[in-house]
Amino acid sequence: MAKRRSVSGPDARAAILEATVALLRERRTGGVTTEEIAKRANCAKGLVHYHFKRKHQLIAGAAEQLWNARAAAWSGALGQSDPQASISAGWQLLEAEASSGTAAVCAAIGLGGDELVVQSVNDSRRAFTAALTGATQALLRRMGLVPSVAPSDLGALLAATIEGISLQLGSGAKPDVLEQAWAAFWVGLLALTRRA
């Protein structure tokens, strides 16, 4: 059996972050060790410490990466040319986030006591909400609608709904009931709009 090459150089930092994100998703919590991360990244533990002096710096970086990827995925899902396709793509993304552990770890990682990690999650959550605000406004424009409330309120409402439904899906709630809740959310959101 051929031995895998150890990661090094400029790719090491990215590989370490990627390994951390994968482990966090699997565990659905922030509870990973530096040894596990090094093994998953196929590098020496010292290389992890070289790139991230403290473990909380690594977890904060992984949290930022998770939330950035989440914002990009949601912007893409809501960016479909057909509004119904956007809503359907959102439901599929909710299911994917629940099954991959993304939703659970995004919620859990910010509950730790480390100030840097909590700050990273809070900053990332604000950026996520801002991305959803922009994506929602664009979706409404395609429908010939404008919000009758502050657009940021719609983004915050969508972010809270996404987090709630994806966590319920991840905890074993019935998908068909939650899919109905997702559809009802959109009816409620549309009630907060008017013709452009």
Question: In this model, does residue 1 exceed pLDDT 50?
Answer: no
104 occurs within a structural domain? yes
Are 109 and 24 in contact by the 8 Å Cβ rule? The answer is yes
User: Is residue 154 a part of any domain in this protein?
Assistant: yes
pTM of model > 0.85: yes
Query: Is 162 a member of any domain?
Result: yes
E-assigned strands of the chain? 145-147, 193-195
Mean pLDDT for the chain?
A: 93
pLDDT for residue 79 is more than 50: yes
pLDDT at 11: 85
Q: Per-residue pLDDT tens for 16-74?
A: 999 999 999 999 887 899 999 999 999 999 999 999 999 999 999 999 999 999 999 99
Residue 8 falls inside a structural domain: no
Task: Give a yes or no: residue 135 inside a domain.
Answer: yes
pLDDT given at position 2: 45
User: 3-class DSSP state for residue 151?
Assistant: helix
Instruction: Give me the percent of the chain exceeding a pLDDT of 70.
Output: 95
Residue 26 lies in a domain: no
Query: What count of Cα atoms within 13 Å lies in the side-chain half-sphere of residue 16?
Result: 27
pLDDT at 4 over 70: no
Domain extent at residue 118 = 56-195
What mean pLDDT comes out for the span 128-137?
98
User: What CATH number is associated with residue 137?
Assistant: 1.10.357
Domain total for the chain?
Answer: 1
Confidence band for 5, pLDDT divided at 50, 70 and 90? low
Helix (H) or strand (E) segment spanning residue 124: helix 115-142
Task: Please report whether residue 99 resides in a domain.
Answer: yes
Residue 37 domain-assigned?
A: no
